[in-house]
Amino acid sequence: MTLRTVFRALVLAAGVAAVSASVGEARSANNIMQPLGATPSFRDALRVTVYGNVLAARLAATVRDTSAASVYWRAALRQDPRNAEILERAFITTLADGNVEEAMPLAERLIQVDRTHRLARLALAVRAMKARQFQTARSHLSAPPRASADLTSALLTGWAYLGSGDVSAGVAAVDRLSGADWFQLFKQFHAGLILDVAGRRADAGKRLEEAYKQDPTILRIADAYGRWSARARGADAARQVYSAFDKVVPNHPLIVDAERRLRDNQPLQPLVRNAQGGAAELLYGLGSALSRQGGEDLALIYLQLARWLDPDHELAILSLADLYEFLKLPQRAIAVYDQMPQASPLYRNAQIQRALNLDLMDKSEDARKVLQELITRKPDDLEALQALGNIQRSRKMFAEAAETYSKAIALIANPDRQHWIYFYFRGISYERSQQWAKAEADLKRALELVPEGNARGRAQVLNYLGYSWVDQGINLDEGLRLVRRAVELTPEDGYIVDSLGWAYYRMGKFEEAVTELERAIELKPEDPVINDHLGDAYWRVGRQIEAHFQWNHARDLQPEKDDLPRILNKIANGLTDDAAAAPRTTGQAAQTQPSQN
């Protein structure tokens, strides 16, 4: 099963061509999306012409400002009420913005225009589920054209039958679902949950166990099976399930909390308790699966509906906020993280991510304050310490970052492969604060710990240690070997290829430098540092015209303030020894965060 396959199947089932166009008509590869400003009032938007509102709505969509887009589309609809396209876009953007109550009348109007509109039918079915009008929900879900492979409708129909008290019909509706082999996982999981809510413990266990056997690494499946095991087979059986998951994903807060409850002889309730909760769980699961697999726009709608059904669904909150992060909308992410219940095991995680998003908005002082408060209340919180160190490091507070990482490392009695990242980040902080002996020791320790299977992580450490040696003129052969190995592990990483090219430059191997730096430019054409490096290399091999072109390009790409005078001097006077480009010793760490696995 691939998540892209899930996405294609769901989009076909939804039958909505305008989802992406309405929610996000343009994407940003690098920059944080900034809303247009204060969301206009509906009354103010009505003062604009219909054409003006349509243009404003499209502009809002380009920066994914669904709040403004929804207002403009709804105003345009008031002005042109028979325009089916405007009606559809108003409905979709309003739903994606989380204004579900406002979207429902639009859905009602939409099915009058297009009885087959699957997303409108889905929204109305969810509304009926929330109101415990389960027969009405099934009517919307079964409205033609109903595809036999409509995963969402089939599973929601199963939950609607449960709400009506017909458990057998609910399970049968799930079992009738046909399609790809991977549908079996969803079928077994949700059939098991339906049976568990209905109190048919033995039948539920068979289904949940089958789902667990198919993929024991999925959190919700492992948790549901662990909870069932605790009630049906005892605490030891549940511990085995949670222990196996912990080996794959160590210290997940929900698993840690479940294990604590088992130790304290506290009962583990079923994952889902009623039909509405089951529907919310389904929408969360599908939305989460879609969120980073090309289906972000549909995922946004599914997650908003899940939260509308169950406002305290912890993982739906995290997934929605995480999706806003992915879409580079930190302000929206913060607003969602703020809704995490304080009693939730995931509250601290939400606060940590909230702090990181504050930092993205250049509110680093507020971010550090949030993290310091978390650390004060729980001094052994490794995640909060790492987040604080990362913010300090990104803000070039290297001495402070090294101290923070040291506090985290002091809490680790026996460092293993999952802890390599702390030594790597502290090594960077030491190197940048001119403490090379300590930095070298940490980078070597990180290299010992980082798993062989983590190619990206190994490449980051190899590159940083190897380049640092070359840049200092020590261990040249070994340093170059490490950087070459980093490139072999991640040949598509333009920053690491740049390091190899600049290492050759520092060693006086200018032709080799040109070759590698040209490849780095192909991978990262808009990076000012790489363009600056290539300009220097061109100059050294006598290609002065091309050197000036690269320096001019570097100037136009908004380089760091400290680099700009040096670039301008080279444009005016050519390359002199004191005008050479600055090395990229922390570029990789600043641009990307390596995988910690």
Task: Give residue limits of the domains in the chain.
Answer: 490-591
Q: Tens-digit pLDDT profile for the chain (597 aa)?
A: 443 444 344 444 444 444 544 555 444 434 565 555 567 888 888 888 999 999 999 999 888 899 999 999 999 999 999 999 999 999 999 999 999 999 999 999 999 999 999 999 999 999 999 999 999 999 999 987 665 458 999 999 999 999 999 999 999 999 998 877 778 999 999 999 999 999 999 999 999 999 999 999 999 999 999 999 999 999 999 999 999 999 999 889 999 999 999 999 999 999 999 999 999 999 999 999 888 777 899 999 999 999 999 999 999 999 999 999 999 999 999 999 999 999 999 999 999 999 999 999 999 999 999 999 999 999 999 999 999 999 999 999 999 999 999 999 999 999 999 899 999 999 999 999 999 999 999 999 999 999 999 999 999 999 999 999 998 999 999 999 999 999 999 999 999 999 999 999 999 999 999 999 999 999 999 999 999 999 999 999 999 999 999 999 999 999 999 899 999 999 999 998 666 666 655 444 333 445 454
Query: DSSP labels for 505-540?
Result: HHTT-HHHHHHHHHHHHHH-TT-HHHHHHHHHHHHH
Q: Are 504 and 516 in contact (CB under 8 A)?
A: yes
CA–CA gap between residue 218 and residue 209 (Å, rounded): 13
Q: 347 exposed, middle or buried (CB, 10 Å; 0-12, 13-18, 19+)? A: middle
Cβ pair 156, 134 in contact under 8 A: no
39: DSSP letter = P
Q: Give the residue among 184, 219, 224, 220 at the shortest CA–CA distance from 208.
A: 224
d(CA 468, CA 460): 12
H-only helix segments in 310-346: 314-326, 330-337
Find out whether the peptide bond into 105 is cis, omega within 30 degrees of 0.
Answer: no
User: How far is the C-alpha of 188 from the C-alpha of 184, rounded, in Å?
Assistant: 6
Q: Outline where 395-454 has alpha helix (H).
A: 398-410, 420-432, 436-449
The phi and psi torsions of 463 (rounded to 5 degrees) equal -65, -45
Phi, psi at 454, each rounded to 5°: -90, 80
Nearest of 470, 447, 427, 421 to residue 592 by alpha carbon: 421
The pLDDT of residue 42: 86
Q: Give me the torsion for CA of 31, 56, 47, 331, rounded to 10°.
A: -30
- Angle subtended by helix axes 528-540 and 494-506, to nearest 10: 30
Stated pTM of the model = 0.85
* Alpha carbon distance, N-terminus to C-terminus of the chain: 22
CA 90 to chain centroid, in Å, comes to: 26
CB 340 within 8 A of CB 347: yes
Closest CA to 110 of 77, 69, 67: 77
Residue matched to tokens 């949940």? 208
| C-alpha–C-alpha distance, residues 531 and 550, integer Å | 5
Gap between the Cα atoms of 597 and 581, Å rounded = 34
- Domain 490-591 belongs in CATH node 1.25.40.10: yes
Q: Alpha-carbon dihedral of residues 78, 81, 85, 86, nearest 10 degrees?
A: 0
- CA quadruple 483, 487, 489, 493: dihedral, nearest 10: 120
- Cis amide prior to 145 (ω within 30 degrees): yes
Burial class of residue 230, CB neighbours in 10 A (0-12, 13-18, 19+): buried
Query: How many angstroms separate the CA atoms of 58 and 230, rounded?
Result: 52
131: which DSSP letter?
A: T
Residue 590 class from Cβ within 10 Å (0-12 exposed, 13-18 middle, 19+ buried)? middle
Give dist(CA 185, CA 212) in Å, integer: 9
